[in-house]
Every structure is written in C-alpha cells, then in structure tokens.
Structure 1
Amino acid sequence: MGRRKPNETMRLLVATFIGIVLGFFLGVSFPTLSLTKLNLPSSLFPSIDLTYIEDKYSGLSTQALLNAWSSLQGKDGSAAEINEFNESRIWVPTNPRGAERLPPGIIASESDFYLRRLWGSPDEDLKMRPKYLVTFTVGYEQRKNIDAAIKKFSEDFTIVLFHYDGRTTEWDEYEWSKNAIHISAPKQTKWWYAKRFLHPDIVAAYDYIFIWDEDLGVEHFNAEKYLRLVKKHGLEISQPGLEPNNGLTWQMTKRREDSEVHKDTEEKPGWCSDPHLPPCAGFVEIMAPVFSRNAWRCVWHMIQNDLVHGWGLDFALRRCVEPAHEKIGVVDAQWIVHQSVPSLGNQVRPKALIALGLSFIDMVFTSLSFKSCQGKAESGKAPWEGVRERCRKEWRMFQERMSSAERAYYVSLGIDPPNSTTAR
C-alpha cells in the first residue's frame, strides 16, 4: 500500500479524537442502558442471559465506572487491578432476591413476633422463645370470650389480636394483653389480616399457627394436649371437633366421642365425588384451623388478596399437603363449641334464618358470615344480605380462578387437564 498523505493522516486522527469525545459525553448523558430493550438478535448471543447481566450489574452506574477509572489513574491499568476492582463488589446470586449485594453472614431472611427490650444486651432479651402462634380476629364486645380462650394457651404461645373495631388500648385490662401483639384495621376479616401480617417468613419461628375466630367456646379444649394429638397423628392441617348441637355445618367437623382424631366421614349423597376429597376427607373449616409451618407456607400463597371472606379456601387446603386425606383431620378429644355470635353488624340469629325461607346453602353463607365482615345496608338490603352475596360471589370466583390456573398449567405441559375438583 502506498504511504498516506500527511493531511489524510491528520483528518483520521481528528475524526478519531472527536469520536472518542462524543462517545464519552453520550455515556455520561445516558447512565443506564437496558440490554433487554435493545432487541438484539438471539443468534448473536446464543448462550448469554442478557436479563441476568443487566440485573447483576445494574448497580454500576456510569459515575461508578468513572470513579473506578479515576482510581486506576496513575497505575498501569493491568488486568489484575481491574479484576481486583470487580471482585471487591459483593454479588451472591444464591442470596434471597434483592439481597445479592449483601454478604451471606449478615442476612436475616426470617422474622418473628417476639417482643424486644429497648435497653440491655440483645442476647438477654428473651427468657423463652414461644414455639407456637395463636391469632384471633376480635372486637372489644367479645373480650370476655377471648379472655377465656387465651387462658387455654400456655406461655409457649405468642398471642396476636387482629382488631376490626379499632379498640386496642381497652384490652390492657387483661394482664396477658400487655404481652400480646395488637394489629388494628377497621372492618377487615381474618384472612385479610393473615395475608398481610402472617407472611411465612414472619411466622417461620413457630411450629404451628392457630388462626381462629372470636366466637369459639373452649371449655373442653387444652392447646398443649391438642398439639400432642396433632403430632401423634401426623396432621399438617387440623381443627378441634365441634359440639354437634352448636353451629355445625359439615359432618366432617362433627366431634366423635369414641376417637382421638378422625380424617374422613360420610356426607349426603352426591356431595363427595371421591371419598378422599372434601368435604368427606382432606377438609376442615376456616373458623378454627391450625396449620403446621410448612402447610401454612403453601396456604398463605393461595389466599387471594381481594377474596377477604376466604370462602372456598377450606375446599382447597388439601392442595398444600400430600396425601391430604392422611394429613388433614379433626381432633375429637379436644373439642370446641361454635357459638355463632353475630358480632359484626347484624343481630339475626342462625335459628331465625329458617323463618326467612332460605335454602340450605344460603343459610350456610348467612349464618357464618356475621362474624366475618361488618355488613352495610345498601339498596334496601339488610347488612347480612350484602355479606351473603359477597360470600357467594367470592366462592364462585375462587373456584373459577383455581380451575383456570390448573387448566393453564396442564395446557402448558401439553397434557389434557383432569376434571376440576376445587369445590363441591
């Protein structure tokens, strides 16, 4: 090749310099560049996950790179020095999501409800660590009933009260209340509270979680004896048996006098498509359920944010344990009475519902909905009617969502969906 002319060489140098300057200022002006938004052909990077690269290095802004470059000024800029800079930045992909920049030894991925002091040494705060958690969704009018219930739970239980009426300080008349956790939000149900305050990583310190209503008679119940039977019979999800003559809806939850625990029953003809499916097996009601830590982790994820009554959830609990007909059951030897107290917004008693000419399923929804939500009279309808309609709507919505999710899952695998058994 012939030698370049001096003026051509000068033009080339000037163009190169201008390109470098422009590139520098463009980089400063656009500090963040999303690789995933460039729509680069996958054939160019067949084995590179651009999303992973973007997530991993998103914290290195242009300014940070400039600072790093400045710190290397005056050095020889060797590969060893650059590698030393990269390795000094913590990034642990196996850490919990969002904590990749932390050294593993400092991460506290779980929490608890243990009360701490504001003074002294932290390692001396707790004289004991309760192994179990019991929650009640309460109104102040039911304080005497709750006081009687909580006395059935030992110091090995952390107590959490969810207040739907906003009255929390009044409970200080009870000594145990001063060591309880009080959470208040107006006119909410226990499943609304459970979804927002009982995340599995919050209650991970507890072996079993009781999520109970406020209208339960506990004269024949002892929590410690109850848990011994739960462990003995391998129950992951359970409830105490119900006194047959008070507030009974399903045969499955009816107390039996001749057994410690039962796991199945016979219902009316046509109610159970399979003897191992709800409500004949793998079934407890949502008024007084008890979950193991592992079962609750699954159930919490299944609770829907907008379906606050929880209707239909009891028919789906079986999905969280396997085999459900062996690990879900009713403890007969420790039993309770469902008082069906209409404490939230209406004073129609369940016995009076028969006089209203309601169907069986309407009576189920109506009699059980009083304690679940404070109703409101609208469009000429009584408060209990609005609650009943909401309960029925939620039941249908939950069933449809579960069926749709199951169907989509099986379709994604290229197989025919089995018949849905979400609810009766």
Structure 2
Amino acid sequence: MQANSIWDAWDSLRGGDRNLFNELHKFYENTKIWVPSNPRGAERLPPRIVESESDFYLRRLWGLPHQDLSIKPRYLITFTVGYEQSDNIDAAVKKFSENFTIVLFHYDGRVSEWDKFEWSKKAIHISTRKQSKWWYAKRFLHPDIVAPYDYIFIWDEDLGMEHFDAEEYLKIVKKHGLEISQPGLDRSSDFTWEMTRKKDGGEVHREAKEKDDWCSDPPRPPCAAFVEIMAPVFSRDAYRCVWYMIQNDLIHGWGIDFALRKCVDEPAHEKIGIVDTQWVIHQSVPSLGNQGQAEDGKEPWVGVRERCHREWSMFKERMANAEKDYFQAAN
C-alpha cells in the first residue's frame, strides 16, 4: 500500500494537479543561480543543497535517515588484501574498535569468501584485480570522501599486530601532535630504514641515525620527517595534501614517503614520527608482488619490484621539476 500510495501521489502531481506541476516546472526552469564559491561543477545549485563531502557509513534501505547510525566511526582503516592473508587480516581487524570504518581493497577478486568473518559483513569491500593500495587510494579515498575521519590508516596486509592497539596508538599520536606517523617495526621485522625500527625508552621518536650521506642538519628523510608507505597514518588535513601528491599513473607509491614532509607545517620533523610503544611486525609476504606478470623466466615479483624502482626515479624527477618550475615562475 505504501509503494502504491507513492506512485498514486506522483500520478496526481503529473496529471490530476496539473497546476502544481506547472508551477514547480516553472520554478526550476526560471530560477537562475550562479554561486562561484560552490564546489566546481555545482555553481548552479543553491549553496544550502550542496553536500560536498561524503563518507563510508552504511545506510539502511528503510526507516528515516536519522535512524540509520547508532555510531559514527571517527577513524578509517584500509587494507589492500588477497584472500590468502585473510587470517592475518582477521587478527589485525580485532585490534581496531567500533570507532573505525573498515575498508578492504581486494586485488585478487575473492570477496564473498570473506563472509566467514562476522566483521566482514559490515566492512566496505572494493574489488579490482591486480592493483596496488595507492591505485585504490587515488580513486576511492578522495579527501571529500574521508573527511569525516580524524585519522586515515592506509596499511599493507602483512603486518603482525600482537603488540598493537589502535585506540592506544591514537592517544599517543594526539599527545605528541603527530600529523603523519606509523607504528615502530619490531626489530625482528624486515626493514629498510633505521628510522622505522622500534626504539626503547620512550613513546615516540622523530629522528634516527642512518648512513652518513643520508643525514643532515636540519634533519630530513630518511633520518627524520619520515615514515614508510607500508603502514602510514595520516591526520585528515595531512591526508588531503597527500592525496593530491599521489600520482595517477605511479601506483606503487615509492618515493612518496620522502616527500610526505611537504604536507605538514615546518618544522616537519616535529609533526612526523614513529610510535614505539605500539609496534607491529612486518612479515614481508609478497602476495601482491606475486600478482605480477612473469617475463623471461623471472618470478612475477621481480617485474613488480623493477617497476617500483622506476616509479621512485620518476617521482623524484617530477617533484624536482615541479618545484623548479614553481620557483622560477614565482621569481
């Protein structure tokens, strides 16, 4: 009856109450609006109807909108996953409270199998085969979509979290004013930079000693103002900047970690740091790398790694050229 009533009312508007229909039609046709301060493309809309931001909150198909949500999560955690790592992700997700929206990016196309986990039924699942997390971030984590979240975690699938609690982690991040951070890596982890290794004796560290030719005064990456791309955590404002820096065609993200300092106020090394009292283990499982294409007898991950190195070089060159052009134009 309710559905029929809706259609009856619409039929009445179209036919039975022709005058009302004509008045509405005239209003929408003749009202001219142009508001330059509206978001691009919405200049013709009255500002009060413009919703420039959205979210990942799940809505019901029935009832009233204000009844949809019992809680609005304040934080967002994303994992880029293959089903072979499902047990590890199950253990990881349990470290995040109901204050987190969970988004899984599936690079292997196996989505329905995750329904074996009760939490998965409330997660957001996005599936495109053989893509990286930065490819997903550029396309699905626009700053206006993640705007409701105070912090955005963009993490790999191969992290052991026996010694990690997300709520405690964020308490430390807020206490120390970190805009960009990551948990320290257990010393048994596979690691590249000394900066990201867990240190004892404090809650966070912001500097570390690397090879002599890497460190300088004032401190710069990878000795300070540096986190790796495996498990970064961004404040809302920092992520908005980072999203614009992510290159559309460079999908592995190598090199971005050296430029993250550009997305916080100076001195950058005070706003970027490693949390030592909440740490993870980097297991270095090459699941995504194995999605590559084998060539000339090489393992699939070899071609993936070669592209990573090429992208790093390309990103550095692009950033250097962009800054050079900017300063030349400014002067």
TM-score (norm 1): 0.70
Tell me what 1:409 maps to: 326
Tell me what 1:304 maps to: 247
Tell me what 1:400 maps to: 317
**1:1-400 maps to which residues of 2 (within 5 A)?**
88-323=31-266, 324-344=268-288, 346=290, 374-400=291-317
String of CA shifts for 1:148-188, please: whole Å, max 9, x gaps: 00000000000000000001111011000000000000000
Does the CA-based 8 Å contact 2:225-2:271 persist in structure 1? yes
| 2: CA distance, partners of 1:345 / 1:411 | 40
String of CA shifts for 1:364-403, please: whole Å, max 9, x gaps: xxxxxxxxxx221113333222122111110100000000
Does the CA-based 8 Å contact 1:345-1:376 persist in structure 2? no
Does the CA-based 8 Å contact 1:158-1:180 persist in structure 2? yes
Q: Secondary structure at the match of 1:201?
A: coil
Aligned length: 304
Change in Cα spacing, 1:200 to 1:218, as seen in structure 2 (3 Å) is same
String of CA shifts for 1:212-264, please: whole Å, max 9, x gaps: 00000000000000000000000000000000121121110110121101111
| 2: CA distance, partners of 1:174 / 1:87 | 54
Question: Relative contact order (C-alpha < 8 Å, sep 6+): which is higher?
Answer: 2
Q: Secondary structure at the match of 2:260?
A: helix
| 2: CA distance, partners of 1:102 / 1:342 | 48
AA at the equivalent of 1:337: I
| 2: CA distance, partners of 1:257 / 1:93 | 53
TM-score (norm 2): 0.89
Does the CA-based 8 Å contact 1:135-1:161 persist in structure 2? yes
* Contiguous gaps of at least 5 residues in structure 2: 1-25
Does the CA-based 8 Å contact 1:229-1:260 persist in structure 2? yes
| 2: CA distance, partners of 1:160 / 1:384 | 25
AA at the equivalent of 2:206: K
Tell me what 1:82 maps to: none
| CA RMSD of superposed structures (Å) | 1.6
| 2: CA distance, partners of 1:301 / 1:344 | 24
Greater alpha carbon shift after TM alignment, 91-100 vs 303-312: 91-100
| 2: CA distance, partners of 1:341 / 1:151 | 20
AA at the equivalent of 2:285: V
Structure 1 residue 87, shift from structure 2 partner: 9.2
Which protein is bigger by CA-based radius of gyration? 1
String of CA shifts for 1:340-369, please: whole Å, max 9, x gaps: 1122354xxxxxxxxxxxxxxxxxxxxxxx
Structure 1 residue 275, shift from structure 2 partner: 4.4
AA at the equivalent of 2:275: V
Change in Cα spacing, 1:345 to 1:195, as seen in structure 2 (3 Å) is closer
Structure 1 residue 285, shift from structure 2 partner: 0.3
* Contiguous gaps of at least 5 residues in structure 1: 1-70, 72-85, 347-373, 415-424
| 1: CA distance, partners of 2:241 / 2:263 | 6
Does the CA-based 8 Å contact 2:289-2:304 persist in structure 1? no
Identity of aligned residues (%): 72
AA at the equivalent of 2:286: P
